[in-house]
Each structure stands twice: as structure tokens, then as C-alpha cells.
Chain A
Amino acid sequence: MSGPSKYQPTSAVGKWFHERLPIVAFAKDHALDFPTPKNLNYWYTFGGILAVMLVVQIVTGIVLVMHYTPQTDLAFTSVEHIMRDVNYGWMLRYLHMNGASMFFIAVYIHMFRGMYYGSYKAPREVLWMIGVIIYLIMMATAFMGYVLPWGQMSFWGAKVITNLFSAIPFVGDSVTTWLWGGYSVDNPTLNRFFSLHYLLPFVLAGVVILHIWALHVVGNNNPAGVDVKGPGDTVPFHPYYTIKDGFVIVVFFMFYALFVFYGPNYLGDAVNYVPANPLSTPSHIKPEWYYLPFYAILRSIPDKLFGVIAMFSSILILFFLPWLDTSRVRSGRYRPIFKLEFWIFAVVCVALGFIGSKPPEPVYVFWSRILTFYYFAHFIIILPVLGLMETPKPAPNSISDDVLGKSSLMPAE
């Protein structure tokens, strides 16, 4: 936030309060007056959607806990009790269950938007890395939440994922026993997952505040990828973006409602309506859709330790993205080869997700290896080399020029 606050308390009470806690000024500066590039398109509205989805998940989650029992003999039946007996319980649970999927749809669009427009590049590296932390916490939270209904997929998902830690050399088995609180996934595991599933969303809220703080230090990126050069390039957040974000949130809620009311189990797995049985693994075990690309990467490598390393690396590599992309042009709009390669990468990610949903048959294993190779090559080979070789198209001189459709005759910096 640049410049002194425009907030002037008008009443005596307002003045008295402002001198003791300037929270109204803070809110006005950051939620209403915040100067925002005037060329943001609809891809930039998913941050707002994500904030709203976090609130939806916390509110529906808190009321679900009023009826849920975290005990292995009762967890499954307490969820059925919510579905059948509790007033509007079916709706609250379906909102929470599909809310997780909507959260991930929005976060994936938000992340790919950041990648396309180079939002991770200087000076936004820390903003991007906090975002990756948020994504990791989201994955952990969603995983533990999925275990709570204690269905077959809950149980076996928990077992497979916690067993990933047994791949750690020497201490792996002690670590998994410690995570389980026993010799297998059992009641102590369910209890602690419940505890952490309740905690992590609030941690998430805290990290989201850091994310927004970092955003408000450096300001928004924008589709042209050029810096804000003066007040003429920005508009105040309110009303321009409150209305734009608000409109998109309403449309997104319609999409969300379509699933909640017309296909509440479409994104889930029917096997999870079978109570957990520690003596029998379902024949096709697969994680929720939002983990599938990483599951495919895990299975593409025929070695336990290296499979686990590849899977974790595929996420952690995002932390290094700001330094792996060597191009000095921020927006993919002015990078003809990157633009094409970006969409290939997006298709590769979706294809990995498709393969992750399939059984480990030779043809799928073959393709998962090729796609896994491409996934890593995108980050380690293509982005660093492309940035040095590619001739970018001229970017506009300023955001105002971009809005007016003027492109500079000067080559991009």
C-alpha cells in the first residue's frame, strides 16, 4: 500500500477509536481503496472465490462436527445419521464434501493462471511460495477429512498415504507407527486426523492472511505482465473488483450447487459408502480426483522409495519455479513458444490425472512414465532453456496502453 491512508474519521467516537486501534483505516486501505491494475481479467477472480470457499468449508465443517463421532465403530454410522436424521444434514455434508472439490477446482485455475501470466516472477516469489504452502496444507486437510467417514476408501486411502512415509530409509517404520499410534490405521489414527482436520483450516486462514499481505506489499500482477507505472494504471479495489469478484462468486456458486443438488456423489467414489474393513482392500483403490496426477507419478516409478520421492518432488518443485523460469518477460501472452508449451503442460497434467484413475495396467504405466518425464522436463529443462532461447513479442509500455489496445513498437524488456 503506497501513500498515507485516505481514511479520516468524521465522528468524535470514530476519531477516539482510530487513535487507539486504526483498524477501520486498515480495512479501508486494503479492502476498499487498494489500487488494483485496471486490466485484470476473469482468471484473476479465483483468489476471491478461494477465500469464500475457505469460509464455506469452515462454517459447514463446524456444524458437521456437532453431529459427527470420531470413533471407528461409530464414525461411519454417525455420517449416515447426519445424512438421514439431522435437519438439513444431507445438504450440509454434501456442501462440505463437494466444497472440497470446488476448492481444488478454484485453486488449480488460480495456480495455472499464475503460471501463465508469470505471477511467480520477481518481485512476487514469496507471494508464490506462500501460495504453494497453502496448497500443501489444503492437500493435507482434504486428505484427513476424507478419512473421517471411515468408509473403505477412507481407510485404504489413509493406509496407502501414511505408508508413503515407510519409504524413508531406516526410520520409516517407526515414523509410520508414530503416525498411526498403533501397528495399523485404527482408532488412534482416526482421532488424530479428526483433531488435525479441525485445526488445519484455521492455520490455512492464517497463511492466507500472509498471502494477501505479501500481495498487498508488491501489488497484483496483471495479464500484460508490466508493472504499474502510475495512478492511471490502477482503479480502487472497491467497487471495481468487489463487483467483478462478487459476480463470479455467484456464478461459481451456481456451478457448485449443480453438484450439491444434482450430482452430489459424482466426484466421489461409491466404495466409500461401504464401511471400512481392515482385512479387505477394494479392488480399484484410487484417491480423490484432485490427487490423481500425483498418484500417477507415484505409480509410474517401479521402486518404492523413488516413487515416493518423485511424487513429493512433483509438488515441491513448484517452490523453485520463480528461479527455474529464466525468461524476463512476465506474461505468457508475449511469449509465443511458452504459450504453446504451457497448454501442452496443462494437457499433460490432466492426462496424468486420467491415468491416475486407471488400474496399473501396462499401457497406462507406459504412458504415465512418458508424461511423468514431461512433467519434470517442463520445470527442469524446458522453462530454463526456453527463457534464454525464445524471442518474445513486444509487450505494451503500460497497463493503460494494454487496455487501449496499443502495443509498443519497442521490443519487450
Chain B
Amino acid sequence: MVATGAVAAVGGAFVVWPLISQMNPDASVLAMASIEVDLAPIAEGQAIILKWRGNPLIVRHRSKADIDTAKAVKPTDLLDGVARNANVKEGEAATDDNRIVDGKSQYLVMLGVCTHLGCVPEGNKGDFGVVTPNGTTGGWLCPCHGSQYDTAGRVRKGPAPENLPVPPYKYVSDTKILVG
């Protein structure tokens, strides 16, 4: 009785696991995991949005004003003090330098997936960009629930809990990156 029950329980668990596991990303999804991006055509102040792993990837060529504004932010003003950059050590502080790779401050590469509920934040909007006579540049505003990000993609106004994530990427040449 006990032996039968025990064998049935273990057997049941072995059958249930494939039924659960089949819902995880399959081999074809995992295969298309990296893309190469040429940064040269992106003019200063311009941002492009590409698709990476089904998600929007924002690549912005930042102006000096963008970078200076981001560097001037005090750590205490950040809602999320962690870099959220897959290319630096986990838990590093969210300084502007920790949001980029290889010291190339002009290129900000991050996922355009609001850390609240996943909408795509709109660029050059919100209260945390650089105010110019021609309107705000840099900074992102999520249209769904009003979260705001600064010129380094760090969350500055909730409900989003985290900075926009920087995916793993590396420079394969001076102006080319491999994401993923």
C-alpha cells in the first residue's frame, strides 16, 4: 500500500514535470538570441529601436548634455540604486558609467521594456530629460502607468521598481556591438 503509493507519487511527478517544462522557452526561441548592431549611422541625439528576443531594444546616441545631466544626478535621488547592467558586476551602483560598456558614454543600449508592466517607454518625454528650447531630449516616459526614466534610463518616478535593464553586449569593433 505505502510502496504502491510512493511509486505512484514519484511516477506522477516524473509525468508532471514535462507537462510544466514544455511551457518554458523552446530551442528555437533560445537559438535566435543574439544580434549585431552597427552604431555608426545613429546621429547624435538620435535613438533607434530594434527587436531583440522579441523585445524592443533602445540604442541612443547621447549628446554631451544627456551625459552631463545623468552624471550630475545624486545617488540619493535614484529610486533604484543598482546598475541593472548585465555587463558589470551584479549589485554595482547605478552611476552613469555603470550603465554603459567600455567607457563609451555616448551609446546607451537598453531594453525598452518598462520594469513595471512591460510597455515601451516613449523617448524624449517626461521630467527627467534635458530641457532645450526645442523641447525635452533624452528621458523616457511610459504611456501605460506614467513611470519616468532619466537620460541614463534609470527610473526616477514610479510605479516602475527598477532601472531599464542593459542587456549583455560587447563592442566587436569601434562602432559595432553584439547584443546577447
Contacts and interface: CB of A to CB of B under 8 A. Distances in A.
Contacts of A222: none
A160 B118 contact: yes
A159 B117 contact: yes
Q: How large is the interface on B (under 10, 10 to 19, 20 to 34, 35 or more residues)?
A: 20 to 34
Contacts of A303: 158-159, 161
Nearest to B20: A178
B158 A182 contact: no
Contacts, number: 90
Interface centre among B49, B55, B113 (most CB of A within 10 A): B55
A181 B146 contact: no
Contacts of B122: 281
B23 interface: yes
B34 to A, nearest CB: 12
Interface stretch (B3-11, B24-32, B67-75, B94-102): B24-32
Nearest to A160: B117
A197 B145 CA distance: 28
A307 B143 contact: no
Given A159-B118, A280-B120, A304-B159, A182 B23 contact: no
B51 interface: yes
Contacts of A282: 143
A233 interface: no
Contact of A183 (B54, B116, B117): B54
Contact of A181 (B24, B118, B160): B24
Contact of A182 (B49, B53, B159): B53
B145 A299 contact: yes
Interface centre among A177, A180, A188, A282 (most CB of B within 10 A): A188
B81 interface: no
Given A177-B24, A299-B145, A279 B120 contact: yes
B26 A283 contact: no
A178 B23 contact: yes
B159 A302 contact: yes
Interface of A: 156, 159-160, 162-164, 166, 177-186, 188, 192, 278-285, 299, 301-305, 307, 360
24 contacts: A160-B118, A160-B144, A162-B118, A166-B118, A179-B23, A181-B23, A182-B25, A182-B54, A183-B29, A184-B113, A185-B54, A188-B25, A188-B26, A278-B51, A278-B55, A280-B120, A281-B122, A282-B143, A302-B158, A303-B158, A303-B161, A304-B115, A307-B159, A360-B146
Interface of B: 20, 23-26, 29, 49, 51, 53-56, 112-113, 115-120, 122, 142-146, 158-161
